[in-house]
Amino acid sequence: MLSAGLTIDHADIPESSDSSPVEQLCQGEMTAPVLTELLKQYGLLPKLLQEMIVDQAIASIHCDPQAIEAALQQFYLSQGITSPAELEAAKKHPGFNLAQIQQQIERNLRLDRFKQQTWGHRLESHFLTLKPQLDQITYSLLRLQDFAMAQEIFFRIQSGEQTFAEAAQEYSQGSEAQSGGLIGPTPISQPHPTLAARLKTAKPGQVLPPIKVGDWSVILRLEEFIDAQFDEEAQQKIMDHLFQTWLQEVVTERIANSKVPQNWGI
């Protein structure tokens, strides 16, 4: 943002020559070797390879015109386009290219179908494998370095002399003190393994005696265990995870087998 009174003399800004890379790219005159070198230089070549691999994978996937039209109408609604007049007005906007939008929508639909055809039948087995990473917990944590003090605070909480939130705000020496010790919901794999192991076997509302974890003395209370469900959201996450894993493996293999793998700008 420019400060008040600051002006820019455009004469001080060097003009782009007709042969500059920017002009060549904007005019569609950049040669393939130059463009490839620039993609390498900016580290974009692997991303380009990813998109080309995806296009190759979905080339034979058919998409119903009705599905494309439905997705297009959904896009219009997301952009606040609810009438033919609004659509015509949008078409006049320089950044609104209907042909490109339709192409991208169709590509997304074909990609979704490719994912479903490739991994849809394996989702449940992968869900069971990944479930420990998908389960979530909400818990309260209080940590300080004095173990004897941690024990005293634990007994205060147990006796009802002080609530966990009050004790955490007063004594906890981590950022969780600001929230009264409350953390989450968060994947159960997120906390320190020692803490995660204790929380897995705890009952909601149970305050666990202090234990040493490194330099810290930690008191825990499980607030809620959120059991991951094999619902639509979980299925989509697993499908995307499997797709990204596959795509990265293919990209890595293609780069390793290329004639000049050292020049990919990675």
Residue 173 CA to residue 21 CA, distance in Å, equals: 55
Dmax over Cα atoms in the chain, in whole Å?
80
Residue 225 CA to residue 137 CA, distance in Å, equals: 5
pLDDT in tens, 58-77: 999 999 999 999 999 999 99
Decide if pLDDT at 6 tops 60.
no
Give the number of other Cβ atoms within 10 Å of residue 20's Cβ.
12
Return the bridge partners of 179, or none. none
Dihedral of the CA atoms 194, 195, 199, 200 (nearest 10)? -30
Pick the CATH number of 130-226 from 3.40.50.1780, 3.90.79.10, 3.10.50.40, 1.20.58.220: 3.10.50.40
Distances from the Cα of 159 to the Cα of 22, 140, 163, 207, angstroms: 72, 17, 9, 11
Give the number of other Cβ atoms within 10 Å of residue 156's Cβ.
16
pLDDT in tens, 8-17: 454 444 554 5
Question: Secondary structure of 84-120 in the HEC alphabet?
Answer: HHHHHHHHCCCCCCHHHHHHHHHHHHHHHHHHHHHHH
Average of per-residue pLDDT across 118-136: 91
pLDDT for 264 equals 62
pLDDT for 65 equals 93
Q: Yes or no: say if 167 and 142 are a contact pair by the CB < 8 Å rule.
A: yes
Residue 160 CA to residue 167 CA, distance in Å, equals: 11
With a threshold of 0.95, does the pTM exceed it? no
Residue 111 CA to residue 239 CA, distance in Å, equals: 11
* Among 210, 228, 238, residue whose Cα is nearest residue 119: 238
Q: What is the spatial order of strands in the sheet that 182-187 belongs to?
A: 182-187, 136-144, 216-226, 207-213
Phi-psi region of 235 (alpha: psi -120 to 50; beta: other; left: phi over 0): alpha
> What is the band of 22 on the pLDDT scale with cuts at 50, 70, 90?
confident
